[in-house]
Amino acid sequence: MMNWKLEEEGYDVDKIATNGNKFLVGNGYLGIRGTLQEYGREEFPAINLAGIYDRVGDAWREPLNAPNGLYTYIELNGTEYRLPQISPTNHHVALDYRHGIFHRETTWETPVGKVTVKAERFASLKDKHLIAMKYIVSSEGEGVLRLVTGIDGDVWDINGPHYDYILPQVEQGILKEIGVTHESGDQVCVCEAAVEDFPMEIKISDEGRKLLRVITIQAKAGISYTIYKYISVYTSKDRADFKELALELVQKAQTEGYATVKRLHTEEWEKKWKVSEVVIEGDDAALEGLNYSIYHLHCIAPRHTSYLSIAARGLSGQTYKGAVFWDTEMFMLDFFLHTEPTVAKTLLKYRVDTLEGARKKARSYGFDGAFYAWESQEGGFDACSDYNVTDVFTGRPMRTYFKDKQIHISSAVVYGIMRYVDYTGDCVILSEGGAKVILECAAFYYDLLVKKVHADHYELHDVIGPDEYHERVNNNAYTNRMAKYTFDSAIRVIGLIDKLDQATAEKLKDQYDLSRLYSRYSDAAAKLYIPQPDEKGIIEQFDGYRNLEDVSLQELRGRLLHEKEYWGGAYGIATHTKIIKQADVVTMLNLFSSDYRKEILLNNWEYYEKRTEHGSSLSACMYAMLACKCGMPERAYSLFLKSATEDIRGEGKQWAGLVYIGGTHPAASGGAYMTAVEGFAGIHHEKGVLTADPKLPAHWTHFTCKVIYRGDLYHVNITQDKTEITKLGRA
Ligand code: BGC
């Protein structure tokens, strides 16, 4: 049995950054890092916003952190009691990840006895613009207690400051800060209402960035003083009347009261778990890790709009530029397909919405069609820079080619759309722009085909596959196979054209010479070279891979001159070896396993696993899933657990030189879900029927979950010797 609680006793300054990720709460519109109320920018607090970005100077463009309306600290008899400045006698933090509620309790010793702060807060899942907090102070001794609370507009940024100025205002007792961004003048409005009955004054400091209430209380021994805070966040991108809405929302919350706001929030979480909870008996670590991963996926699901995707670090901050990678379609999509298909569609509609950006990117390289952004921000803008890594030895930026050569991103978009169509049986997304996206991606790959004069096949040259340590290679097996998949998908779409709504079908027929495209893409799909297994059954990752130095991971690690040096690029230690960063051929085999004999799957798994650093959190789950397909659940298990506990362990890299790169790992969370549900439980669909072919690890005595398939909700119940799938009715 799990208690749905992640807890930590004691205070450790070194955990400030990791705990910000571990104890995150969020609702898809915003994510609140698991930091403490009194923290200032040095401790990386953030109310990170989805889908709104800003750029200052030449630095990376990154998402915005809203002015921090949670900001609160105490002062007793003239001394501020706050972390990390004053060491506590007791400190406890907890995340109730069943309901997305963060708790903290801290006690300090003072000359008049102990003073204790207890607080809880949540990002409302009911109203995505609302945050609520309860903050309680009690002192053992008497004295003048000051509670300072309000909005801190001096936010933490990696490449900020993003607000050129902040307008502090007070309206009907409500504090309001409006931050105006540097690049496009977007506005972020935060309102704060605090409910208490004590005298207070309002103070503005830090050149208007901090707008605070100072509440003064003659504290009595042993009495608790409580304040409730409601904070709303709206931006000028949400609605024209965003400021009025922000004000009205906190007023409404004040009227409803904390208990009601909290009840509505927890009810919403219960609705999510009713469908998405996975129960594993016989393995508490897996049970906890998996549901904690699912919690994080819920926290970042965009439910407030119909076209938005998820950033590679979710809503845990500005790391990775808040950008959307192939992580969404290849690793996170399946969770939403199985539990909340409307969110899956929202993620894909983001790609439809950013098609123009992808076409522009293709054009900028002189190609036809759609080349999706490697690190996509709004409008499909590619935030990936030419110099994405800094050399630790020279301090100089290194030219990397992720943006230019990771062409497999477009095929991930196609894969996502077709997977949605096949799984849900709903072709409407094709009429809503999906068909055009697929045709444009096929046009892009078609333009990239290389044919040697005497050859009768096509190749793809100068690419980077999922393994980023080997840049600019020819015929990467994954990329070529995915390009073929794109051609096949375009052919399918052309075949489906008359099933789309009439207006879309007519428009596509006007715009494209579909019969010519049909024959072009049929030819390309048939003749594109797909690296085949050699005499030992091994598929070469790219041309020439087999001639690289075969060194063990251990030996390669021993060659490092600096713990943070980059393994790829021109001088990287892995570049001229067979060591790869992450699953590459294995990802391809996992997606197309039915094309290969089991022996081939197994040979390649064995061959590549020992040569994989798993230097990306995306890697382990692909090996785990293929291990399940090879009938090796025991070997899949540790890789599954690695993905499922990525954020609970919080041991991932936090720093690259002086740049903070930590955050949550939603792709690993999605990969853990896929491994459990599609791998161990073997849930899949065949000809419109949901079925399961389980391969549970021996110590899992019972597995249950619910999945939505083609509009119906199913209950899946698996033990070591029986499998039942029951239709429960319309989802
Ligand atoms: C991985 C990519 C991934 C990105 C974002 C990189 O380290 O190599 O495959 O898309 O991180 O998660």
Separation of first and last alpha carbons in the chain? 27
Phi/psi-derived region of residue 369, left when phi > 0, alpha when psi is between -120 and 50, beta in every other case: left
What pLDDT is stored for residue 564 in this prediction? 86
Q: Domain of 173: which CATH number?
A: 2.70.98.40
Phi/psi-derived region of residue 451, left when phi > 0, alpha when psi is between -120 and 50, beta in every other case: beta
DSSP 495: H
Question: Mean of the pLDDT values across residues 23-34?
Answer: 98
DSSP H or E run through 713: strand 712-719
- Rounded distance between C-alpha atoms, residue 731 and residue 480, angstroms: 38
Question: Mean of the pLDDT values across residues 567-577?
Answer: 95
pLDDT digits (tens, 9 = 90+) for 319-336: 999 999 999 999 999 999
What pLDDT is stored for residue 725 in this prediction? 98
Residue 59 lies in a domain: yes
What band does 657 get if pLDDT is binned at 50, 70 and 90? low
435 lines ligand 1 (CB under 6 A): no
Q: Where are the beta strands (DSSP E) in 254-405?
A: 279-281, 389-390, 397-398
705 lines ligand 1 (CB under 6 A): no
What pLDDT is stored for residue 653 in this prediction? 67
What pLDDT is stored for residue 586 in this prediction? 98
- Rounded distance between C-alpha atoms, residue 76 and residue 108, angstroms: 11
pLDDT digits (tens, 9 = 90+) for 599-624: 999 999 999 999 999 999 999 999 99
Using the atom order of ligand 1, give the atom closest to the CA of residue 325: 10
Q: Which residue has the tokens 């959307």?
A: 324
Q: List the catalytic residue out of 375, 378, 468, 646.
A: 468
The residue among 300, 304, 297, 303 whose CA lies nearest residue 335 is: 297
For 227-278, the DSSP string reads EEEEEEEEETTT-TTHHHHHHHHHHHHHHH-HHHHHHHHHHHHHHHHHHH--
6 lines ligand 1 (CB under 6 A): no
pLDDT digits (tens, 9 = 90+) for 696-731: 999 999 999 999 999 999 999 999 999 999 999 999
pTM of the full predicted structure? 0.97
Same-domain pairing of 598 and 478? yes
Same-domain pairing of 470 and 354? yes
pLDDT digits (tens, 9 = 90+) for 85-117: 999 999 999 999 999 999 999 999 999 999 999
Query: What's the structural domain count of the chain?
Result: 2
Same-domain pairing of 366 and 464? yes
Residue 486 lies in a domain: yes
Give the residue whose CA is nearest to atom 1 of ligand 1. Answer: 616
Residue 162 lies in a domain: yes
Same-domain pairing of 457 and 539? yes
Q: Catalytic annotation on 468?
A: yes
Give the residue whose CA is nearest to atom 7 of ligand 1. Answer: 616
Same-domain pairing of 495 and 631? yes
Amino acid code (one letter) for 154: D
Joined together, the tokens standing for residue 295 give 């919690």
Question: Mean of the pLDDT values across residues 396-411?
Answer: 96
Question: Mean of the pLDDT values across residues 376-390?
Answer: 94
Classify the C-alpha dihedral 311-315-316-318 as positive or negative: positive
Residue 254 lies in a domain: no
pLDDT digits (tens, 9 = 90+) for 208-265: 899 999 999 999 999 999 999 999 999 999 999 999 999 999 999 999 999 999 999 9
Mean pLDDT, rounded, of the chain: 96
What pLDDT is stored for residue 228 in this prediction? 97
* Model confidence at 481: pLDDT above 60: yes
Same-domain pairing of 267 and 299? no
Supply the range of the domain harboring residue 231. Answer: 5-247+259-274
pLDDT digits (tens, 9 = 90+) for 676-701: 999 999 999 999 999 999 999 999 99
325 lines ligand 1 (CB under 6 A): yes
User: For a pocket test of ligand 1, which of 566, 616, 646 has the largest count of ligand atoms closer than 8 A to its C-beta?
Assistant: 616
Residue 94: CB partners within 8 Å, gap ≥ 6? 5, 6, 7, 8, 102, 103, 104
Using the atom order of ligand 1, give the atom closest to the CA of residue 581: 8
- Rounded distance between C-alpha atoms, residue 610 and residue 680, angstroms: 22
**Share of residues in the chain with pLDDT > 90 (%):** 95
Question: Mean of the pLDDT values across residues 35-59?
Answer: 97
Residue 443 lies in a domain: yes
342 alpha carbon – ligand 1 mean position (Å): 26
> Helix, strand, coil proportions of the chain in percent (round to 5)?
35, 25, 35
Same-domain pairing of 476 and 615? yes
Query: CA 105: distance to chain centroid?
Result: 29
Q: Domain of 674: which CATH number?
A: 1.50.10.10
Distances (CA, A) of 303 to 244, 299, 450: 22, 10, 42
What pLDDT is stored for residue 660 in this prediction? 66
Same-domain pairing of 106 and 243? yes
Check if the beta carbon of residue 447 is closer than 8 Å to that of residue 461: no
* Model confidence at 2: pLDDT above 90: no
Same-domain pairing of 231 and 299? no
616 alpha carbon – ligand 1 mean position (Å): 6
Same-domain pairing of 154 and 282? no
395 vs 443 pLDDT, higher one = 443
- Rounded distance between C-alpha atoms, residue 170 and residue 193, angstroms: 10
Residue 371: CB partners within 8 Å, gap ≥ 6? 358, 361, 362, 365, 407, 409, 410, 444
Residue 729 lies in a domain: no
Question: Mean of the pLDDT values across residues 571-600?
Answer: 97
SS3 699: coil
Same-domain pairing of 350 and 223? no
Q: Which residue has the tokens 């507009």?
A: 153
